[in-house]
Amino acid sequence: MIRPAPEDSTASRLARASEELSILGHELTAATAELHRELRFHTGSGSGIEAVAATLDSTSDRLRRQALAIAEIVYAIAEDDIAASGDPRAERCAAALGRVARAVEPIFEIAEELAGRLLASYRLAGALNRPLESADLKALDVPIQELLKEHEAIATGAGVAISPGLLSDKQYWMQWWVRNRGRCTQLHLQLDPGKPDFYDYESSAWYVDPAGELVPHLAPPHFDAGGVNDYMITATVPTMGADRMIGLGCAEMTLSRLASLVSPALQALGAPATLATPDLLVAATTAPGLSPGHSVTGPLAFISDEDLHGAFTEISPGITVTRSAALAWWLIVDWTPSTDSPSAKPDSISHWSSHLDR
């Protein structure tokens, strides 16, 4: 999850606790897997060590379940905040955003697992009194492929992006896989800054914000040139060492896959609805004329946080904007009559969709 709510809000604190528990659980899973591998080479190991490994497995599983339980509490708090106005439309928007947040949550779970596994690799190298190397990250290849296979309907790609200068042998490094038509392929991006086609991920929108704020982030729609060559959203979760960010656990999905996940929730509103970033990039929509991945420049293009006085705001007659403490997007709904009706409002979604900046 990523929240636009204040960092000291109850929902924000609970969400952060959920994320940390999830990362810890996945780190413990990776460490336990390493312990099992070591045990295979020591056939004389006593049952005591095996019992410890079994206990660690059980503990990591409980941590992850607890993280999901806390996430559900965050969703409930967010929905209650939205519905507090008593407006029946607010209750419907709260339910829709709750469904959207739960639909998107698995992509964050993938990023959290990879953040935990990266942390385990980093700490293992430290325990062996040596710096982390790019070769150490090959241990993530199988888990990444398994995650992409398990979440094929959601994730298109996943991996880790390492903080520049962290590895002993590479200035920049990404361990990244994509899955297309049932097949996983590792991406070998140009990460040599001396080459003309260098991929400077450090300056990419999906890297800059989580690296700067050190919180999980849902990047706005962006075109993934050279990777999947499609419009994507990317979930990123920072992996923190004692005194610095090690890198990001990442997972991405195409906007077309996002649409298939969230369209039922939007359609259930019974009115044209759009999920948009705060800078009004369209993530998903049921409004005629709007296209995911593009920006809106019509009458609603000048909405700002100052215009939104609460979780649910009617910014003009019949046009509402809803913010959730569990999701970084705004839900814009046009409750006005259809534009086929003479009573349709001129500033409805159907009107400003014609101003879409293509």
Do 38 and 50 meet the contact criterion of CB atoms below 8 Å apart?
no
Range with lowest mean pLDDT among 54-58, 173-177, 204-208, 345-349? 345-349
User: Residue 325 has what pLDDT?
Assistant: 78
Q: Is the pLDDT of residue 137 over 50?
A: yes
pTM of the model: 0.81
Q: Is the pLDDT of residue 42 over 60?
A: no
pLDDT band at 35 (very low <50, low <70, confident <90, very high): low
User: Residue 333 has what pLDDT?
Assistant: 93
Altogether, the residues listed in the chain come to a count of 358
User: Residue 15 has what pLDDT?
Assistant: 73
Exposed/middle/buried for residue 125 (C-beta within 10 Å: 0-12, 13-18, 19+): middle
Pick the residue with more confidence: 340 or 330? 330
Mean pLDDT value across residues 77-84: 79
User: Residue 347 has what pLDDT?
Assistant: 46
How far is the C-alpha of 203 from the C-alpha of 129, rounded, in Å?
A: 31
Look up residue 29 and give its amino acid: T
Mean pLDDT value across residues 141-164: 95
Range with lowest mean pLDDT among 35-39, 60-64, 128-132, 214-218? 35-39
Most confident of 63-72, 212-221, 334-343: 212-221
How far is the C-alpha of 99 from the C-alpha of 285, rounded, in Å?
A: 15
Q: Is the pLDDT of residue 354 over 60?
A: no
Q: Which two tokens stand for residue 350?
A: 């159907």
pLDDT, tens digit (0-9, with 9 covering 90-100), for 101-127: 888 889 999 999 999 999 989 988 888
User: Residue 357's closest CA among 251, 280, 263?
Assistant: 280
Q: What is the largest CA-CA distance in the chain?
A: 83
Cα dihedral 125, 127, 129, 130 in deg (nearest 10): 0
User: Residue 20 has what pLDDT?
Assistant: 75
Whose tokens are 């810890």? That residue is 24
Portion of the chain with pLDDT greater than 70, in percent: 81
Mean pLDDT value across residues 330-357: 58
Backbone phi and psi for residue 246, each to the nearest 5 degrees, phi listed first? -80, -40
User: Residue 276's closest CA among 236, 237, 218, 229?
Assistant: 218
User: Residue 325's closest CA among 51, 71, 37, 63?
Assistant: 71
pLDDT, tens digit (0-9, with 9 covering 90-100), for 269-318: 999 999 998 888 999 999 888 888 888 766 666 777 777 777 898 988 89
Q: Where are the domains of the chain?
A: 259-357
